[in-house]
Amino acid sequence: MDKKVRVRFAPSPTGGLHLGGVRTALFNYLFARKNNGTFVLRVEDTDQNRFVEGAEEYIVNCLNWCGITPDESPANPGNYGPYRQSERKPSYRKFAEQLISDGYAYYAFDTPEELDAKRKDTPNFQYGQSTRMEMRNSLTLTISEVEDLLAAKTPHVIRIKVPENEIVHFNDLIRGDVSFETSLVDDKVLLKADGMPTYHLAVVVDDKAMEITHAFRGEEWLPSAPTHILLWKYLGWESDMPAWAHLPLILKPDGHGKLSKRDGDRLGFPVYAMNWTDPKTGDTTNGFKEMGFLPEAFVNMLALLGWNDGTDQELFSLKELEEKFSIDRISKAGAKFDFEKSKWYNHEWIKTQSAELLSPGVRAELQKAGIEVSDDKFLNTIIDLIKDRCNLLPDFVAQSGYFFTNPKEYDVASVKPKWTPEKAEFFNTFSETFSLNDAVSAEESFKALAAEKGFKPGELMLPFRIMLVGGKFGPGVFDIAVLLGVEETKNRISKAIEVFNH
């Protein structure tokens, strides 16, 4: 590649960060890393009506959690700032006015009421080639009328003048040759009445100013592509236009339509990277992080929604993704989101992580449940013992809580039907005589006593487990006993016998 690769993730600070947005950021990041390029975060905050306090910081936190930290951003500026569109406001009007001077745009003075009336009169109204000459704009007004309206500071917008009967072609790095008929494209607003640019003008001006070489964005932006390509051409920058790559949609689990927050609410899974609390309503929308996903698993899952390396490999570290990522392996078709598969990724990543890496997250989950752990070594031993049983970090609480507190309830129904005085006697005797040097010797002494008392070991293992943990779950029961220690194991046996005897 001739130019140094520069890509950008350009979110709007309007709320939670959808996993589709994170995937766009991830693919930008991976392409930059693969090509020794620069990954830019540009905050597109020109829509002041939708701006939400705290949303920019939230976006940055999400990217940091995922490990895809930008090389340039508002917090870490390079030589192409400012990195917030609201701070670049003066540049946009200059280029909008230039487009008017060159005949590629025009002033439109239509009031909201006039536009509403037109929409009521004309079904599927589009402000464009077939309707622009019926409206109040600088194409239908005299030069003096326009000058008077501007001098009086009459509210107005600036619209692109889309040409008639042309075909706009471009090469998409994922979809190949794409073309649009300009007769189907409306005259988009470029500059709003408040002087702020719309996305259409700002994205072109900023990509030029920041020397962006490749533009990755979601498939939903494809209909806007002809407007943007015309702007690159009309501003005289066609040779500097970035290469386009429109990413496939992330679809609902049934494959019908784009995955939305509403789908997550309905089906019980998150669609945001991290918890988002709306500062106006106080409502919190759950995120993958707080649900107990590891960032490694979240990123791995996202990368394979619409991309693969051509092999059967499913587990990739971020480093491996940086090395193996290529645009030609991105699918054109939408990718169905599968929450069970997401949990599988997390389970596999939990299994690969060391107890030391998992312990901060596990400790935080235990603290939420009111369990304080002071012994790091003890916690790490437990994590290694049970991590294969956990899909999400909160699972560690259910799978390990009994190591720290006595069972509050017992699965008596699984024991009671076959519970006998002889079994109670067995456990009393075992409690008095056993020692716990290690799990193997404890099991041997247990089985020897069972044989002596005329029991099959299998008849006694389930009651023993329920005595120690309260239910039919957990790792090897003798591993549990060894970690609990002799005195605690004896106490639990004694307490459970009382419960089973009633």
Catalytic residues: 261
Beta bridge partners of 216: 245
8 A C-beta contact, residue 133 and residue 100: no
Sign of CA dihedral 142, 148, 151, 154: negative
**425-436 as b/e: b if 16+ CB within 10 A:** ebbeebbeebeb
Q: Which long-range contacts (CB under 8 A, 24 or more apart) does 310-316 make?
A: 314/345, 314/348, 315/345, 315/348, 315/349, 315/352
CA distances from 483 to 98, 286, 400 (A): 76, 35, 11
Q: Which two tokens stand for residue 466?
A: 């329920």
3-state secondary structure at position 311: coil
Beta bridge partners of 176: 172
Q: Which two tokens stand for residue 121?
A: 């009169």
What distance in Å separates the CA atoms of residue 457 and residue 434, rounded to the nearest whole number? 16
CA distances from 122 to 63, 117, 130, 134, 485 (A): 45, 9, 12, 12, 81
Work out the burial of residue 472: count CB atoms within 10 Å of its CB; fewer than 13 is exposed, 13-18 middle, 19 or more buried.
exposed
8 A C-beta contact, residue 439 and residue 478: yes
What distance in Å separates the CA atoms of residue 415 and residue 419, rounded to the nearest whole number? 6
Residue with tokens 């449940």: 369
CA 423 vs. chain centroid, Å, equals: 53
Q: Could you please report the per-residue DSSP string of 220-247?
A: GGGGGHHHHHHHHHHTT-GGGPPEEEEE
- Alpha helix locations (H) across 189-282? 199-209, 225-234, 261-267
